Amino acid sequence: MLACRIHGVRDLRLSEEQEPKPKAGEALLRVTAVGICGSDLHWFEDGGTGTATIKRPLILGHEFAGRLEDGRLVIAEPAIHCGTCELCHEGKYNLCEHNRFAGHGDLDGALQERLAWPVANLTPVPEGITDAEAPLLEPLGVAMHCVDLLHVRAASTVAVLGCGPIGLLIVQVLRAVGTTRILATERADRPHRMAAGRAAGAEVFPADEDCAEALLDATGGRGLDGVIEISGDGAAVEVAMRAARPGSRVVLAGIPADDRTSFRASEARRKGLSLAMARRMPPIYDRAIRLVESGAVKLSGLVTHRFPLRECMRAFDVAAAREGIKVVVEPSLAD
């Protein structure tokens, strides 16, 4: 079977490999679609993410869906938790101390034609969600987790800093939970993403040096009831602190390239801001699917580029250039 491994910075190579044999408790998937995530791009552009670096040629891809041997479409939970640590017993599986994650460390991900994965980590996808759209359930789960962490109330004004795929899904989730007004920011040289933010229901502002003042002005100087930063840009974290209303909450979900986040402590302290860091997501697929089935969140239109596995390098180049919204690699797509 065909697989794509990363050997170093911007060094993706195709290889012919043996088809995996499922172990006890695993199912064999024919991988049909893999979304390229921002964290995948850190591996591609920086050679790692956070403290994790490339130790061996690694198969990336953690947003993935596939078909079982009986033809059923399933979405995979990419994190395999131990189930025995204190955090797992508390239901905080995304914080498991012994967590293994697809396309990270020593666990190969889904940029391959076949993959053996734990049955307990597979959720059936209902009709109406296509193979190409199904991987978006994973970033939707992350978006829902961010909104859960924000503790948002109805009739609030909230800002989302970053109109990438997760940012756009956050806008939709905020709208679904009754947020009255949603502001968003995106770089002016990405007009397609600014347009997507407006289409999702947000008032979109250019992410420039005057961004915080623009957000404050939009609220009449009152400030934002909550902010979710999902751009991974250090400047956006400063914007969040400046534009947040005293006593409000800021969720930091973006992954900075240099693994550091900083802001003026005096401002955050004076305002008494509450900070929450988002890591992946807890078990949430059932809720995510219900949101999509209800029509409150739409996945259609977010997939802007589709590539076969043999064009994996091109797919990553397009995703790294932020040319579209979501880039999907389809191992079963004809070349």
Query: Both 23 and 53 in a single domain?
Result: yes
**What is the CATH number for 89?**
3.90.180.10
CA 233 to CA 260: how far, in whole Å? 10
The first and second tokens of residue 208, run together, are 């420039």
Strand partners, 203: 183
Q: Which of 34, 30, 32, 3 is nearest to 17 (CA)?
A: 3
228 is a domain residue: yes
CA end-to-end span of the chain, whole Å?
Answer: 15
Claim to verify: residue 225 and residue 314 sit in the same structural domain: no
Q: Tell me which residue of 331, 39, 294 sits closest to 164, measured CA to CA.
A: 39
The verdict on 155 and 94 lying in the same domain is no
Task: Per-residue pLDDT tens, the chain, 335 aa: give them.
Answer: 999 999 999 999 999 999 999 999 999 999 999 999 988 999 999 888 877 888 899 999 999 999 999 999 999 999 999 999 999 999 899 999 899 999 998 899 999 999 999 999 999 999 999 999 999 999 999 999 999 999 988 889 999 999 999 999 999 999 999 999 999 999 999 999 999 999 999 999 999 878 999 999 999 999 999 999 999 888 899 999 999 999 999 999 998 878 888 888 999 999 999 999 999 998 999 999 999 999 999 998 999 999 999 999 999 999 999 999 999 999 977 65
Q: What is the C-alpha separation between 64 and 162, in angstroms, rounded? A: 23
pLDDT confidence of residue 335: 55
Do both 193 and 234 map to the same domain?
yes
* Containing structural domain, residue 51: 2-133+300-330
Cβ atoms of 59 and 112 closer than 8 Å: yes
Phi-psi region of 79 (alpha: psi -120 to 50; beta: other; left: phi over 0): beta
Q: Looking at the 3D structure of the chain, how many domains does it have? A: 2
The domain that holds 154 is classified in CATH as 3.40.50.720
70 and 51 housed in the same domain: yes
- The answer on 147 and 30 residing in a single domain is no
Six token digits for residue 305: 């580029």
DSSP-assigned letter for residue 19: P
Helix (H, G, I), strand (E, B) or coil at 257: coil
| Pair 112, 171 in one domain | no
- Answer whether 73's CB lies under 8 Å from 135's CB: no
- Sorted by sequence, the CB contacts under 8 Å of residue 279 that are 6+ apart come out as 94, 95
Residues 122 and 145 in one domain: no
Q: Is the dihedral of CA 197, 203, 207, 212 positive or negative?
A: negative
pTM of the model: 0.95
* Cα–Cα–Cα angle for 15, 19, 23, rounded to 5 degrees: 135
Asked if residue 252 and residue 235 are part of one domain, the reply reads yes
Has residue 288 been placed in a domain? no
Do 41 and 94 share a structural domain?
A: yes
Residue 119 one-letter amino acid? V
**Residues 146, 272 share a domain:** yes
Specify the pLDDT at position 209.
79
Q: Is 293 inside a domain boundary? A: no
Q: How far apart are CA 297 and CA 312, in angstroms?
A: 28
